[in-house]
């Protein structure tokens, strides 16, 4: 199937530096997990042809740098995004506490306002079950707030617990985001009439 017959879906991987965005992207693309952390400079790009609910798509995955110094540059990469994965490190709740900043960047930078996104709590392989249960409570409160706000925009926000190292829920998160993006595009088309 040619590129011209696929629907292009631009996805942003956003979150603080070191939360595992690059590792999640690599895992989804089928690359081996790398233990050493290499900081993304600006942004990194990959693409992957998939079929989502019978629709051939080409995921364009933009992994944006998490360091504050790159904030002005990141805005360029958000343009045209149809969805995002907002990632935090389950071991560093400070990375969860900044998710609102990342959501705001997406909303301001996409050129479409807010677009569908999921929240990923990454590095579950390093977290105890007790700690994970406490985190889930905090995340669910945040999801309730977000869904009250964004369900009016035609989508709900979901939470996935992931591990780039083991692959846990990585493919499921990308596929679910793809489904939400397709539904979002259908809704936009209906509204235009």
pLDDT in tens, 133-145: 999 999 999 999 9
CATH 3.40.50.300, applies to 3-192: yes
Cα 1 from Cα 163, distance rounded (Å): 31
- Interhelix angle 99-109/71-78, nearest 10 degrees: 50
Domain ranges of the chain: 3-192
User: What tokens does 160 get?
Assistant: 């996935």
Closest C-alpha to 99, from 21, 38, 45:
21
Residue 18 near residue 66 (C-beta atoms within 8 A): yes
Q: What is the average pLDDT score of the chain?
A: 88
| pLDDT of the residue at 41 | 45
| pLDDT of the residue at 172 | 98
Confidence band for 1, pLDDT divided at 50, 70 and 90: very low
Long-range pairs for 35-44 at CB < 8 Å and ≥24 separation? 39/65, 39/67, 40/64, 40/65, 40/66, 41/65, 41/70, 42/70, 42/73, 42/77, 43/73, 43/74, 43/77
**Arithmetic mean of pLDDT, 107-113:** 93
Cα 174 from Cα 57, distance rounded (Å): 12
Task: Give the model confidence (pLDDT) of 151-166 as tens digits.
Answer: 888 889 999 999 999 9
Q: CA gyration radius for the chain?
A: 16
């Amino acid at each position: 199937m040619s590129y011209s017959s696929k629907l292009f879906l631009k996805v942003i991987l956003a979150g603080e530096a070191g939360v595992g965005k690059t590792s999640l992207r690599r895992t989804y693309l089928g690359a081996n997990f790398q233990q050493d952390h290499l900081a993304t400079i600006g942004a990194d790009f990959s693409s992957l042809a998939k079929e989502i609910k019978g629709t051939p798509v080409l995921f364009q995955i933009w992994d944006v740098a998490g360091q504050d110094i790159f904030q002005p540059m990141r805005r360029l990469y958000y343009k045209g995004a149809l969805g995002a994965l907002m990632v935090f490190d389950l071991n560093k709740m400070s990375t969860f506490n900044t998710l609102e900043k990342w959501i705001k960047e997406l909303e301001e930078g996409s050129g479409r306002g807010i677009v569908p996104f999921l929240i990923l709590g990454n590095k579950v392989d390093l977290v105890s079950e007790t700690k994970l249960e406490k985190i889930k409570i905090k995340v669910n409160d945040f999801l309730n707030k977000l869904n009250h706000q964004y369900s009016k925009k035609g989508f709900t926000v979901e939470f996935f617990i992931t591990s780039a190292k083991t692959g846990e829920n990585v493919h499921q998160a990308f596929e679910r985001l793809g489904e939400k993006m397709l539904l979002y595009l259908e809704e936009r088309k209906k509204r235009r009439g």
